[in-house]
Amino acid sequence: MIAIWIVGGLFLIVGLIYCIPKYMKIIKCKEQTTGTIINSTKATGTGNQPIKANYEYSVDNVKYSKSTNWTNFGIFINGKECGVMYDKNNPNNSYIKRSGQIINCIIGTFFAIVGIGILCIGVVLNTMKLDF
């Protein structure tokens, strides 16, 4: 029975740790501007490797340079314009619109929901006094 609690708790914790910072960024970054992909870097290895991009954008004539997190969901072309979402109170806080931010939120939420489901199963099994 303890394994159910551990697995459910781990799924819930990992899901929340993974998605909450991304949700916070989406909530805070409501303003939009156009930026430019400066360069991108693929991780080493074989197969479908994650990619990371460096980008620049301007807000009120102030230039900002940022980089994305590693993602499998972004397509970055050097020199191409990109949509940048930023926080009007802190323009340095930003993300590229098509960098996988929303997909990562969905993945984290899915893990959290699976964790809650497993914990609910644990409660039901505990109520029925079944022991594995």
Q: Extract the tokens encoding 50.
A: 């994650």
Does any domain span residue 21?
yes
What is the mean predicted confidence (pLDDT) over 1-23? 90
Does any domain span residue 86?
yes
Q: Tell me the residue range of the domain where 65 lies.
A: 2-127
Closest C-alpha among 119, 91, 112 to residue 20: 112
Does any domain span residue 132?
no
Report residue 45: phi and psi, to 5°: 135, -175
- Mean predicted lDDT score pLDDT of the chain: 88
Confidence (pTM)? 0.74
Does any domain span residue 121?
yes
Between CA 68 and CA 103 the distance in angstroms is 14
Q: Is the pLDDT reported for residue 44 higher than 70?
A: yes
Band of pLDDT at residue 131, cut at 50, 70 and 90: low
pLDDT score, position 102: 84
Which residues are within 8 A (CB) of 46 and not within 5 positions of it... i.e. 6 or more apart? none
pLDDT score, position 1: 72
Does any domain span residue 33?
yes
Q: What percent of the chain has pLDDT over 70?
A: 95
| Structural domain count, the chain | 1
Does any domain span residue 90?
yes
pLDDT score, position 130: 58
Does any domain span residue 111?
yes
pLDDT score, position 16: 94
Q: Extract the tokens encoding 27.
A: 């909530």
Going by the DSSP 8-state scheme, the letter that residue 71 receives in this structure is: B
pLDDT score, position 132: 56
pLDDT, tens digit (0-9, with 9 covering 90-100), for 86-117:
999 999 999 998 877 888 889 999 999 999 99
By mean pLDDT, which of 42-51, 66-75, 115-124 is the weakest?
Answer: 42-51
